[in-house]
């Protein structure tokens, strides 16, 4: 089934055929990867710049919800003081 093992920062099994979802699941935890069209695609870990963008995006989304959405949903009873 596995024809070789690619040695890189992330070990990625290389198969001689496209995998089924069940075969991929049976591999267990093989590290950060994606299952795309029957193949395993290794993923690199995110860095500090990516984390900073995530934090900024979360902050902006939260500010938007508080400013524009909360008053609208509050009138429908979606937000109460105990739920926030």
Q: Tens digit of pLDDT for each residue in 39-58?
A: 998 888 889 999 999 999 99
For 18, which DSSP code? P
In this structure, the answer to whether residues 23 and 54 fall within a common structural domain is no
Q: Tens digit of pLDDT for each residue in 8-28?
A: 444 555 678 899 999 999 999
Give domain status of residue 52, yes or no.
yes
- pTM higher than the cut 0.75: no
Tell me how far CA of residue 7 lies from CA of 3, 12, 33, 35, 42, in angstroms: 13, 7, 14, 19, 11
What pLDDT sits at residue 80? 57
Q: Tens digit of pLDDT for each residue in 57-72?
A: 999 999 998 888 776 6
Give domain status of residue 84, yes or no.
no
Distance, in Å, from the CA atom of 46 to the CA atom of 64, rounded to the nearest integer, reads 26
- φ/ψ of 81, rounded to 5, equals -60, -35
Domain range holding 13? 2-42
């Amino acid at each position: 089934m596995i024809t070789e093992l690619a040695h890189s920062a992330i070990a990625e099994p290389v198969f001689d055929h496209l995998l089924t979802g069940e075969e991929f699941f049976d591999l267990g935890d093989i590290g950060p990867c994606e299952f795309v069209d029957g193949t395993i695609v290794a993923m690199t870990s995110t860095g500090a710049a990516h984390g900073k963008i995530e934090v900024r995006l979360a902050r902006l989304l939260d500010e938007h919800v508080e400013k524009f959405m909360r008053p609208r949903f509050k009138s429908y009873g979606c937000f109460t003081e105990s739920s926030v």
